[in-house]
Amino acid sequence: MSATAHLARFIATSSWTDVPDSVRHDAKRSLLNWLGCAIGGSNAPSVDLAIESLATFSGPAQATVINRGRRFDVATTAVVNGVASSVLDFDDTHLQTVIHPSVPVASATLALAEHLAVPGDVLLHAFTLGVEAACKVGNAVSPEHYAGGWHVTSTCGVIGAAAACARLLKLDEMQAACAIGMAASQSAGLSEMLGSPTRMFNMGHAARSGFMAAWYASKGITSSTRALEAPRGFGNAFTTRSDWSALTDTLGVTWEIAANAFKPYPCGIVVHPVIDGCLLLRERHAIAPGDIERVEVTVNPAVQVIMSNPEPADGMRSKVSAEHCIAVAMAQGAAGVQQFTDAVVHDPEVSGLRRRARLLCSDTMAKDAAAVCVVMKDGIRHEAFIEHAKGSAEVPLTDRELEDKFRSLVAHGRHGGDAGRIIDMVQGLETVTDAGALARA
Amino acid sequence: MSATAHLARFIATSSWTDVPDSVRHDAKRSLLNWLGCAIGGSNAPSVDLAIESLATFSGPAQATVINRGRRFDVATTAVVNGVASSVLDFDDTHLQTVIHPSVPVASATLALAEHLAVPGDVLLHAFTLGVEAACKVGNAVSPEHYAGGWHVTSTCGVIGAAAACARLLKLDEMQAACAIGMAASQSAGLSEMLGSPTRMFNMGHAARSGFMAAWYASKGITSSTRALEAPRGFGNAFTTRSDWSALTDTLGVTWEIAANAFKPYPCGIVVHPVIDGCLLLRERHAIAPGDIERVEVTVNPAVQVIMSNPEPADGMRSKVSAEHCIAVAMAQGAAGVQQFTDAVVHDPEVSGLRRRARLLCSDTMAKDAAAVCVVMKDGIRHEAFIEHAKGSAEVPLTDRELEDKFRSLVAHGRHGGDAGRIIDMVQGLETVTDAGALARA
């Protein structure tokens, strides 16, 4: 059976009872992390611009823009929530492909689920299938596809969004194949845009186009049913090498959502082991920031190349300043969304510590490892070695850490509601009778 | 100056007085042909499905779906008119790239022009710039881009639509560069879809995404300003070879819209010289269909490969039946939209003539040439040689032929209005105070 047909059958015939308990739990973790990012990002200027741009063309109030008190049609809501949930760059990462699957998939799925008023388990199942679709397609075309200039989260995410929405719309195998086809033919996104707001819109549009593909298919519009593997199809157009057995051999056997990782800190990932070491030493030795002479960190040279910047101009740029990350970890004992604001960048204690941070490069240091040495004014040296950063495949965030991250994002988004109640809702999603309650929470 | 900056400056600073009179006339020809296709296709089942799918999400009634008495928001209208104007496969062709530029560009431009209520000359200027943008980008990436599996009309058309809408929205150079960037990052469309209704939606979405890109840019959303030429930009992602001097050296110097060609017959282009020959002989010798013994045509082998089918099942498939084309030309003295219906396919006189058509292949016959010999029952042989088909670069459709085509499309679309009045409106577009009148006509 061809890759497209295989994926379509999986979408149309998967049973919730086929999804192992641990995978269901992983799906809830991904959904909670996504929801936190959407709440945390909901007041960003790019979200304001998205709402201002799209309100003019929105149809009926069918779905909720998270934490904004606005309701738009499903397609428009998918775009805005896609922008909001990606703007902090704090969302999940499927490490094998570098796809951030939840942004395109959940943004589409929750908007449609709310419109259809489906129960929580139906939402969770559709979301899971969507993440599998996006990441399995990604596996089949990686790494050449990303290397070719494609923003893989949006190019593969649109197929994931289509898969999830196809499930919510109860498409049969043939209709699901057409949804995949229309999504593949709307797949878009250049990685040249990664440094600009268009990055977020790439992902919002992937959510929208995936939803629309499934919707069109539900109305009887057809496409090629060989969109992935045909000579003029997705694989051949989008990459120099594709291996569809990576999809056909593993769909429903291994679960990509179980390999989804979550960032503990909303900054460049290469500096994460350094932050781990700083936080560890600060707590272990009850270090007072004023007693620090300097902080020396030994890191993979990539940290120096990508993130050395002792004087970031603003909050946005502090996310790619290794020195700023070290400074906030030592000064404030945290490196969450609140530590990357303009105000914190200009805080005297933080800027003082940035100037006392030293990056030492070592070719033998792994990318997810770091050695941290805090030299105190009295000459004492506190040292720690981090073998694998928190949030890596080896040291995934615990449920508790993920919940703390969620609470911090809810606070950052000035949500005003009870984060604990939303966490409970996600954890008990199978018993929620109307999944839209999640969007409105 | 880079390609993106060059194109942005052209869009933002072009003056209508810089556009030669002959090019303005060519622009009106392209717009008239597009409008005819949109009217002629307006009642197709795919248009019904597009309207049914999109009405659920449409915003306010801002623009008119041609010949349907429906009004949707600008973005939705652009999709539906894109589907309608491409469904008959009778639209224009920029021969160098095989782009059909008017479908994405005019579908977006007219919808926004109606919403903004701009004068006719502003519409015509924006449309012209959009066609230039689409085709110049196409020239820079052809032929490798199309060969790679990309539906070039939509992948380049989205940039043309963005350019035209950027002009209507009076974007400055920097904003226009962002509109190009967002459009390039939404560029999509697989040529695998050419045999299915998704083909039309590719083009409708290109119109929509191009419009949205310009709209976003007008609201202050930014993108990379090197979208075309950057290492991870459009050229490198979408093709193995791009030459941006094809754009930078010729923008505003040579005009691609002047090289836009129009099909005289809504069927596969390789059989067009055969139809020319049949119509010529039928008229010259007043041939009665019942007196024909057989029709022998000598053609390039491509005709045999692509279009030999003496028994097409329905109207759709008769468009790729060379025998059907010969039969209707001899039986009805025409090969317009009315000759490719189910009813005509099953007409006894037409099916009888299809069985008496003979295709003889010759490697030395050019693709746009044919020799036609009608052998009468009394043994007389009428012969004609067509060196270049009507609608080719060498023998473009005359204004009169284009108007006849328009009238035939208006009749096919059951418009009910006065085709002559619309032709007059397009010819006098500079004096129309509200371009939206064209959409509502």
Cα A424 to Cα A403: distance, rounded to the nearest angstrom = 10
Q: Does residue A416 surpass a pLDDT of 80?
A: no
* pLDDT value for B296: 97
Question: How sure is the predictor about A125, in pLDDT bands with cuts at 50, 70 and 90?
Answer: very high
**Best of A48, A80, A193, A239 to mutate (most B CBs within 10 Å, chain B):** A193
Q: Does residue B15 surpass a pLDDT of 90?
A: yes
Inter-chain touch B182–A198, beta carbons under 8 Å: yes
Of A191, A202, A226, nearest to B232 by CB-CB distance is: A191
* Mean of the per-residue pLDDT values of chain B: 96
Inter-chain touch B224–A151, beta carbons under 8 Å: no
Cα B97 to Cα B83: distance, rounded to the nearest angstrom = 21
| Average pLDDT estimate for B72-84 | 98
Fold of B3-264+397-440: 2-methylcitrate dehydratase PrpD (1.10.4100)
Type of residue found at B30? S
| Average pLDDT estimate for A17-43 | 97
Inter-chain touch A227–B58, beta carbons under 8 Å: no
Task: Write out pLDDT tens, residues B247-303.
Answer: 999 999 999 999 999 999 999 888 999 999 999 999 999 999 999 999 999 999 989
Type of residue found at B418? D
What is the nearest CA distance from A287 to chain B, expressed in angstroms? 43
Inter-chain touch A190–B46, beta carbons under 8 Å: no
Task: Write out pLDDT tens, residues B131-176.
Answer: 999 999 999 999 999 999 999 999 999 999 999 999 999 999 999 9
What is the nearest CA distance from B13 to chain A, expressed in angstroms? 24
Please list the residue range(s) of chain B that carry CATH number 3.30.1330.120. 269-386
Q: By three-state DSSP, how is residue A150 classified? A: strand
What is the nearest CA distance from A200 to chain B, expressed in angstroms? 10
β-pairing, A381-386 vs A357-361, is: unpaired
Inter-chain touch A222–B196, beta carbons under 8 Å: yes
Question: How distant is the alpha carbon of residue A200 from its chain centre?
Answer: 11
Residue with tokens 């939303």: A422
| Average pLDDT estimate for B4-24 | 97
Task: Write out pLDDT tens, residues B85-141.
Answer: 999 989 999 989 999 999 999 999 999 999 999 999 999 999 999 999 999 999 999
Q: Which residues contact B327 (CB under 8 A, 6 or more apart)?
A: B350, B351, B352, B353, B354, B357
ipTM attached to this prediction: 0.93
Task: Write out pLDDT tens, residues B193-234.
Answer: 988 999 999 999 999 999 999 999 999 999 999 999 999 999
Q: Does residue B415 surpass a pLDDT of 80?
A: no
What is the nearest CA distance from A334 to chain B, expressed in angstroms? 32
Inter-chain touch A233–B190, beta carbons under 8 Å: yes
* pLDDT value for B167: 98
What is the nearest CA distance from B95 to chain A, expressed in angstroms? 21
Q: Which H or E element spans position B373?
A: strand B370-376
Please list the residue range(s) of chain A that carry CATH number 1.10.4100.10. 3-264+397-440
* Mean of the per-residue pLDDT values of chain A: 96
The secondary structure of chain B in percent helix, strand, coil, rounded to multiples of 5, reads 60, 10, 30
**Best of A156, A232, A238, A316 to mutate (most B CBs within 10 Å, chain B):** A232
Question: How sure is the predictor about A419, in pLDDT bands with cuts at 50, 70 and 90?
Answer: very high
CATH of A269-386, one of 3.30.1330.120, 1.10.8.100, 3.40.50.2300, 3.40.1360.10: 3.30.1330.120
All residues of chain A having their beta carbon less than 8 Å from the beta carbon of residue B70 are: none
Ordered alpha helix ranges (H), A42-151 = 45-55, 74-86, 102-116, 120-141, 144-147
Inter-chain touch A181–B196, beta carbons under 8 Å: yes
All residues of chain A having their beta carbon less than 8 Å from the beta carbon of residue B184 are: 190
Of A56, A198, A223, nearest to B59 by CB-CB distance is: A56
Question: How sure is the predictor about B56, in pLDDT bands with cuts at 50, 70 and 90?
Answer: very high
β-pairing, B370-376 vs A370-376, is: unpaired
Of B201, B212, B224, nearest to A193 by CB-CB distance is: B224
CB A274 within 8 A of CB A308: no
All residues of chain A having their beta carbon less than 8 Å from the beta carbon of residue B231 are: 149, 192
For the question of whether the overall pTM of this predicted structure is more than 0.90, the answer is yes
Of B49, B59, B221, nearest to A221 by CB-CB distance is: B49
β-pairing, A292-299 vs A357-361, is: parallel
Inter-chain touch B233–A190, beta carbons under 8 Å: yes
Q: Does residue A415 surpass a pLDDT of 80?
A: no
Q: Does residue A302 surpass a pLDDT of 90?
A: no
Inter-chain touch B202–A185, beta carbons under 8 Å: yes
Q: What are phi and psi of B358, to 5 degrees?
A: -125, 130
CB B155 within 8 A of CB B137: no
| Average pLDDT estimate for B50-58 | 97
* pLDDT value for B316: 83
DSSP letter string, A279-336: HHHHHHTT--GGGEEEEEEEE-HHHHHHH--SS-SSHHHHTT-HHHHHHHHHHHS--S
Q: Does residue B416 surpass a pLDDT of 90?
A: no
Inter-chain touch A56–B57, beta carbons under 8 Å: no
Of A59, A191, A196, nearest to B223 by CB-CB distance is: A196
Q: Does residue A244 surpass a pLDDT of 90?
A: yes
Share of chain A above pLDDT 90, in %: 92
Cβ pairs A/B, distance under 8 A: 180
Share of chain B above pLDDT 90, in %: 92
Nearest alpha-carbon partner for B78 in B117, B44, B38: B38
Of B49, B151, B212, nearest to A220 by CB-CB distance is: B49
All residues of chain B having their beta carbon less than 8 Å from the beta carbon of residue A184 are: 190
Q: Does residue B306 surpass a pLDDT of 90?
A: no
Inter-chain touch B190–A219, beta carbons under 8 Å: no
Inter-chain touch A223–B198, beta carbons under 8 Å: yes
